[in-house]
Amino acid sequence: MKKIEKLFNNNKFYKQDGSLKYNVIWLIAIPIIIYLGLSVIITTIFTFIYTIFHLDVDNFDLIIEQVQYNVYLQMLVQLATVIVFYFFYKKDKKNYPVTKDKLSTKTIIFGGLFIFVCALIFYIVELPLSYLFNNTYSDMVDVFVKQGKIFLIIITCILAPLAEELLFRGVILNRLLAKKGPWISIIVSAIIFGIAHGNLEQFVGAGMLGVALGYVYVKTRSLLPCILGHMLNNLLSCIEIFFVFSTKQSIIMYLIIIVLFLYPTIKFLQTKNRKIYDVNKIK
């Protein structure tokens, strides 16, 4: 682990004083390129090994389809993303110091619940649009469920929130904030977050969720409430998949949860933004 950390501490993305190089486009393009590169490399290696053990399968397209939605591959990609971008986030954070005030557990929990409530409101708002999309996402989820519910929970409720928050809020949003205003940074990072989900059905929901996640990060300068809110959102999605709620049942459940968590949501909005030192960190 120390060798990996040393590699990131001495890479060419940083100047000698520790500040980041390049303009804002490169600041966000570099992590995206690295993420895509990781995915391609891991998928290629996994496909090669998988093919060796399935030489009896004549249809190569079938092998590709099985690999594409393989839970072990998805876990490897997510885990690699967590490890790599943890070091990027750790290095970047030295350039974006916050005040020494400790973020309270209450603020972390209320921030997570705020994200969760926003996600439910977004689900209700986007519901009419869901009928316009195809079932690409639903088909993908069905494939994962068939391989084991526990794998779906590990991927969507643990690894994905960690990986995505480190990449999209911890690195991309942080770097945008160093050069642009808060709302421009939040919206741009949210759009990238939506696009990264790879299908139109998730783009709208993930994009709106990205705005809430970005807002909480800017307010707290911590990934903890973002990860918590992301996990709660994905956990609810898993519960709906496992128990197959009707649209009416889902809406009723959403409204009940929104009412239950309305108080912490309002209290979080009333919380003062966590102070930071110098906002012009990249010259």
Q: How far is CA 192 from CA 4, 100, 113, 198, 282, in A?
A: 27, 31, 23, 10, 22
Instruction: Kindly state whether residue 280 falls inside one of the protein's structural domains.
Output: no
Mean pLDDT, rounded, for 4-10? 47
User: What pLDDT does residue 260 have?
Assistant: 96
pLDDT tier at 119, thresholds 50, 70, 90:
very high
Average pLDDT, the chain: 82
The distance from CA 24 to its chain's CA centroid, rounded to whole angstroms, is: 20
Confidence of residue 283 (pLDDT cuts 50, 70, 90): very low
Any domain includes 152: yes
pLDDT of residue 66: 61
Please give the full DSSP string across 106-140, using - where no structure is assigned.
HHHHHHHHHHHHHHHHHHHHHHHHHTTS-SHHHHH
Residue 51 belongs to domain spanning: 2-11+21-270
Q: Is 147 contained in some domain?
A: yes
Rounded-to-integer distance, Cα 226 and Cα 81, Å = 17
Q: What's the confidence (pLDDT) of residue 247?
A: 81
Q: Identify any residues that bridge with 276 across adjacent strands, giving them in sequence order.
A: 98
143 within domain boundaries: yes
pLDDT at 225 over 80: yes
Is the per-residue pLDDT at 97 higher than 80?
no
The number of angstroms, rounded, from the C-alpha of 83 to the middle of its chain's C-alpha atoms is 14
Token output for 163:
């990986």
Domain count, the chain: 1
The predicted model gives 202-220 an average pLDDT of: 92
Whether residue 275 lies inside any domain: the answer is no
Identify the residue whose tokens are 């993908």.
Answer: 140
In the predicted model, is pLDDT for residue 281 greater than 50? no
Residue 4 scores a pLDDT above 50: no
Q: Please tell me the pTM assigned to this model.
A: 0.85
Query: Which residues are paired to 20 by β-bridges?
Result: 14
CB atoms within 10 A of CB 94: 11
